[in-house]
Chains A and B, each alone.
Chain A
Amino acid sequence: MPALPTEWLIYTNQSYLFTVRYPNTYVLLEPANPADPLQAARVFQARFQDQQIASGPLAAMEPARFQIDVFDNSSGRDLAQWLDDHAITGQRADASVGGQAGLRVTLMTMQAPNLFYYVARGAYVYRLTPLGPLGEQMLASFGFV
């Protein structure tokens, strides 16, 4: 069974101006997920993985427990328009992300992940992908600096 966290740490990104708290049982991984249709627009990725899983035999196949992707939006498109431009479909619902108005996008198919949070800020669109049991807490801790 994955270890329970004994402490929560803070990750801050000074380039893209966000912060998130993560459990000390998670590790930060190198960027991955080349199959992402938004790959071309991505400028940054932070993947948090349970450290037991990260060292296991299927580490390369395991989806990250929490993932933050930052995409280019230098054209300043409205979030819904930006999603349409990039052919991102799924059921959309309003959601607060990092204290700002964002969108929650879910797909009916049950491949993991199938739930995403989007928020536009400045020249970027941020996508948060909570997948693990601590995802909700990490999502709530996300904020802009």
Chain B
Amino acid sequence: MDRLRSALLLAVLLWSFAPLTGAQPAAAAPQNALAGEVLIRLAPGLQLSPAGRVTGPQTAAMGALLREAGAVAASSLGAGSDTYLVRVSPRADLGALLARLNATPGVRYAQPNHIYSEMRSTSDPILRQQWALRNIQAAEAWDITTGGEVVIAILDTGVSASHPDLSGKVLPGYNFFRNNGDSSDDNGHGTYTAGVAAAESDNSEGIAGICWGCKVLPVKVLGPRGQGDDASVAQGIRWAVDQGARILNLSLGSPEESEVLRDAVRYAYERNVLLVAASGNGQAEGNVANFPAAYPEVLAVSATDGSDVTTGFTTTGSYVDIAAPGVGVWSTVWDSQQGDTYTGSNGTSAAAPYVAGAAALVLSLRPELSNAQLAEALMRSADDKGAPGRDSEYGAGRLNVLRAVQLASDPNQTFQPSPQSPAPAPAGGAAQFFVPVPAPNDGSVFFPETGHTLRGEFLDYWRRHGGLLIFGLPISEPFLERSDDGREYTVQYFERHRFELHPENQPPYNVLLSRIGPQALGQSGRDWFAFPKGSPSSGCVFFAETGHNLCEPFLSYWRANGLEFDGRRGKTQAESLALFGLPLSEPQLETLSDGQTYVVQWFERGRFEDHGPSGVLLGLLSAEITRQQGLRP
């Protein structure tokens, strides 16, 4: 065990000191960024001098790293800002430098200094009439991404593959109305919704779609006059999922609930597919809920007008998740008289594909996001309209494509599902999140020893409260897991702990540590209540709450470590208690998984092990638990 731990430590240290120049950079070079410049946000109490020297406690590692990178100047981004533009050697390997800075204590984050240019405009002649693009800040978003080849399935009346603004983007589809492979459009509605989401753009033709790079999968579930049924829509959903579409747009609906449709929606949701649906146009008709939009697995979209007011027709209700423009929306269309042409139209039919297109842009930047996280990214970045917070007219607010892609391109952002959305249950269960992943090039910290990444609030917490020695290496990616209280949380497993994200709490309690001690004991059939109790002893601290002593050498270790509450040197009892919790046993002899016998003591959040000359070490409880659960080899 000692050997393994030492090997892991050595591997981390070796990685930490990867050269800043050389043939094998630790991370990919940042794209579209200025050479010789990085932006660094420092932890409280640290500063950078104009000469690029860092000052403050425990800055030796950062100082050495900056010197190695040839830092010659630093300037803060405004008076009092803790973020600095740092000029380093133009020959510095920025990818490696950023990866190492992001793993260095005192650095909240480090990122490239991206190049911006004039806001992207397009040559599409109808662009001027596409007022909605201004409201949702699409053009600004296209400066960040115009989208990769994400597949958006259009479940509708078919799509005209011959339309000049869609040509080359339409994949072979299926016709569930006629049960054949002819997915062409005999109504116009499907070509319309496809164009809003993904029309070819900047091609001197017609309109601009939201996701320029996306592919359209036509799934004809409605007939020539817009009619369809549960069977065709349900089959279409399942087929689109099986074809690999990550996003489904359903600008259709019915006030009737349907078990068949619900099953199909669940089929898609459980396979990590985002379903986007029109909330309905039934405000004049009692404002009754519309399906599939009203199913909790579906991102329901209401419609807004040019003033960002929900339209008079849009169906509203607690199931509405987000709003998007739905009046006078220009798009591609197929018409029985004119063939492939363009039209302006109205409805939540128009609003939903704006959201589907925006989701595809986000997914282009963050393909690892789950469907729930994708929905959360769109809702969190929406412009709050109407009543403050979530409301039944706008849901989380009116879509803002720029803010959505900004959120997605920020490596420090983490996501959890909205309370309205159930947790995904992907095929393979939680074990898939323990499978090593390739090194990302998004600025997050990658641990090659385990093949897992750390970013955002978990990274911040890991660094601030003990890092490798206390928590160990990450052994999973973040994912959603049902906790003891029955709710779903974003969690990540480390060798010694399990982090659980609680953004509703102020730091340091925005991340909660599991009571991993009792869990590990319980997994091996033991109950800490059954351990022999202790009594107050000289030189020890007695905890009456559990009836156990804390004595040397564990007492010194307990006192030397803890969460960081006050930024002061040393740990208070409260800080140590917050990290380890109360002792659950007296010191006792146990033979551990390496076959060696040690003096150990159990705590609520850990197991202290006396390794003699190597000192006190924390047991790798989380690693042991997840291995026993079969989540990892």
Interface residues of A (CB under 8 A from B): 1-2, 35, 50, 53, 56-58, 60-63, 65-66, 87, 89-91, 107-115, 130-136, 139
Is there contact, CB below 8 Å, between B305 and A87? Answer: no
For residue B306, give the distance in angstroms from its CB to the closest CB of chain A: 5
Is there contact, CB below 8 Å, between A89 and B227? Answer: yes
For B254, the closest partner residue in chain A by CB is: A108
> In the complex, which residues of chain A have a beta carbon less than 8 angstroms from the beta carbon of B131?
57-58
Contact of B253 among A62, A110, A139 (CB under 8 A): A110
Contact of A112 among B254, B286, B306, B346 (CB under 8 A): B346
Is there contact, CB below 8 Å, between A111 and B347? Answer: yes
A–B pairs, 15, beta carbons within 8 Å: A56-B306, A62-B305, A62-B327, A89-B226, A108-B228, A109-B251, A110-B290, A111-B192, A112-B313, A112-B348, A115-B282, A130-B285, A132-B283, A135-B284, A136-B285
Interface residues of B (CB under 8 A from A): 131, 156-157, 187, 189, 192, 222-223, 225-228, 251-254, 278, 280-286, 290, 303, 305-307, 309, 311-313, 326-328, 343-350, 352
Contact of A108 among B253, B284, B303 (CB under 8 A): B253
Give the most central of A50, A114, A132: most B CB within 10 Å: A114
> In the complex, which residues of chain B have a beta carbon less than 8 angstroms from the beta carbon of A60?
328
**CA–CA, A62 and B325, complex, Å:** 12
For residue A135, give the distance in angstroms from its CB to the closest CB of chain B: 3
**CA–CA, A107 and B187, complex, Å:** 12
**CA–CA, A91 and B225, complex, Å:** 11
Contact of A110 among B252, B284, B305, B328 (CB under 8 A): B252
Is there contact, CB below 8 Å, between A90 and B226? Answer: yes
At the interface, is chain A mostly helix, strand, loop or mixed? Answer: loop
Is there contact, CB below 8 Å, between B189 and A87? Answer: no
> In the complex, which residues of chain B have a beta carbon less than 8 angstroms from the beta carbon of A111?
189, 192, 251, 281, 345-347, 349-350
> In the complex, which residues of chain B have a beta carbon less than 8 angstroms from the beta carbon of A112?
281, 303, 311, 313, 326, 345-349
> In the complex, which residues of chain B have a beta carbon less than 8 angstroms from the beta carbon of A107?
225-227
Given contacts A62-B328, A130-B285, A136-B286, contact A109 B349 (CB under 8 A): yes
> In the complex, which residues of chain B have a beta carbon less than 8 angstroms from the beta carbon of A87?
225
Give the most central of A91, A108, A136: most B CB within 10 Å: A108
For B307, the closest partner residue in chain A by CB is: A56
Is there contact, CB below 8 Å, between A58 and B328? Answer: yes
Given contacts A58-B306, A107-B227, A112-B346, 9 further A-B contacts (CB under 8 A): A56-B306, A63-B327, A90-B226, A111-B349, A112-B311, A114-B281, A131-B283, A131-B284, A135-B285
For B336, the closest partner residue in chain A by CB is: A37
For residue B265, give the distance in angstroms from its CB to the closest CB of chain A: 16
> In the complex, which residues of chain B have a beta carbon less than 8 angstroms from the beta carbon of A66?
284
Is there contact, CB below 8 Å, between A61 and B344? Answer: yes
> In the complex, which residues of chain B have a beta carbon less than 8 angstroms from the beta carbon of A62?
305, 327-328, 346
Is there contact, CB below 8 Å, between B280 and A58? Answer: no
Contact of B305 among A53, A65, A90, A134 (CB under 8 A): A53
**CA–CA, A60 and B280, complex, Å:** 22
Contact of B281 among A56, A89, A113 (CB under 8 A): A113
**CA–CA, A130 and B192, complex, Å:** 23
Is there contact, CB below 8 Å, between B226 and A108? Answer: yes
9 nearest CB pairs, A to B? A135-B284, A61-B328, A132-B312, A112-B347, A110-B278, A130-B284, A89-B225, A110-B349, A111-B347
**CA–CA, A111 and B311, complex, Å:** 13
Given contacts A114-B347, A135-B283, contact A108 B227 (CB under 8 A): yes
**CA–CA, A1 and B349, complex, Å:** 22
> In the complex, which residues of chain A have a beta carbon less than 8 angstroms from the beta carbon of B290?
110
**CA–CA, A58 and B285, complex, Å:** 24
Is there contact, CB below 8 Å, between B346 and A63? Answer: yes
Is there contact, CB below 8 Å, between A110 and B227? Answer: no
Given contacts A61-B346, A62-B328, A136-B286, contact A110 B352 (CB under 8 A): yes
> In the complex, which residues of chain B have a beta carbon less than 8 angstroms from the beta carbon of A65?
312
Give the most central of A53, A107, A110: most B CB within 10 Å: A110
> In the complex, which residues of chain A have a beta carbon less than 8 angstroms from the beta carbon of B313?
63, 112-113, 131-132
> In the complex, which residues of chain A have a beta carbon less than 8 angstroms from the beta carbon of B347?
109-112, 114
For residue B315, give the distance in angstroms from its CB to the closest CB of chain A: 9
For A117, the closest partner residue in chain B by CB is: B285
**CA–CA, A61 and B131, complex, Å:** 11
Is there contact, CB below 8 Å, between A57 and B306? Answer: yes
For residue B258, give the distance in angstroms from its CB to the closest CB of chain A: 12
> In the complex, which residues of chain A have a beta carbon less than 8 angstroms from the beta carbon of B280?
110
For residue A132, give the distance in angstroms from its CB to the closest CB of chain B: 4
Is there contact, CB below 8 Å, between A131 and B281? Answer: yes
> In the complex, which residues of chain B have a beta carbon less than 8 angstroms from the beta carbon of A2?
309, 312
For residue A113, give the distance in angstroms from its CB to the closest CB of chain B: 7
Is there contact, CB below 8 Å, between B305 and A58? Answer: yes
> In the complex, which residues of chain A have a beta carbon less than 8 angstroms from the beta carbon of B187?
109
**CA–CA, A56 and B497, complex, Å:** 58
Given contacts A90-B226, A109-B189, A136-B284, contact A50 B312 (CB under 8 A): yes
> In the complex, which residues of chain B have a beta carbon less than 8 angstroms from the beta carbon of A133?
283-284, 312
Is there contact, CB below 8 Å, between B156 and A109? Answer: yes
Given contacts A109-B222, A109-B252, contact A131 B349 (CB under 8 A): no
**CA–CA, A136 and B288, complex, Å:** 12
> In the complex, which residues of chain B have a beta carbon less than 8 angstroms from the beta carbon of A90?
225-227
> In the complex, which residues of chain B have a beta carbon less than 8 angstroms from the beta carbon of A91?
227
For B306, the closest partner residue in chain A by CB is: A58
Is there contact, CB below 8 Å, between A61 and B327? Answer: yes
